[in-house]
Amino acid sequence: MDDLIDKSNASGTRFSRADLLNVVETSDKKRFSLSDDGQRIRAAQGHSVTVELGLIAQEPPQILYHGTATRFVDAILADGLKPQSRQQVHLSADEATAYSVGQRHGKPTILKIEALRMHAKGFKFFLADNGVWLTDHVPAEFLAASSPLR
């Protein structure tokens, strides 16, 4: 954290350790986490930048959810879920979160993922610090469209 603060301040983006801790604590999506000693900060889950999260594969719940826009559903049901520009596919443990994610991209649809069945067939799942489930991809055979909330 000290290197990040020093280099940012030197390049003209000024903030303090307290500012950085405030961002970590108040981020609604909990995108960042601190090391146990409070000296390092990292992404809670990888996005477009390669990040080694050090997560251990876990058994997922029976069903996980993915929110998307309705315009993408046919392609996803044909080809499966792919990480696109992210490192891994992001999945939610509840439909409400998936719905919220889907709304960001247009009219939302929630997809159900047979996560436990995938796991039994050898697919790995990881639980990020912020509660997002991660996997490398979801083949179409494990997907089903769900009716959106509301």
- Please tell me whether residues 72 and 116 are part of one structural domain: yes
| Helices and strands (H, E) in the chain, number of each type | 5, 8
Which has more confidence, 20 or 135? 135
Q: Are residues 102 and 28 in the same domain?
A: no
pLDDT level of residue 11 (50, 70, 90 thresholds)? confident
> Domain residues for 14?
2-43
The whole-number pLDDT of residue 124 equals 96
- Statement to judge: residues 85 and 138 lie in one domain: yes
> Quick one: 137 and 91 in the same domain?
yes
Tens of pLDDT along 70-99? 999 999 999 999 987 778 899 999 999 999
Three-class secondary structure of residue 76 per DSSP: helix
Instruction: Kindly state whether residues 22 and 90 are assigned to the same domain.
Output: no
Question: Could you tell me the CA-to-CA distances from 108 to 56, 101, 148 in Å, in that order?
Answer: 31, 8, 7
Q: 76 and 32 in one domain?
A: no
| Residue closest to 130 by CA, chosen among 42, 2, 3, 18 | 42
CATH code of 108's domain: 3.20.170.30
| pLDDT value of position 89 | 93
129 in the same domain as 70: yes
How many of the other CB atoms lie within 10 Å of CB of 134? 22
Taking residues 110-131, report their average pLDDT.
94
Overall domain count for the chain:
2
Which of 59 and 144 is assigned the larger pLDDT? 59
pLDDT tens, 17-73?
888 887 777 766 666 777 778 787 766 655 555 555 678 999 999 999 999 999 999
Q: How far is CA 45 from CA 18, 29, 54, 62, in A?
A: 23, 11, 10, 22
- Residue 57, in any domain of the structure: no
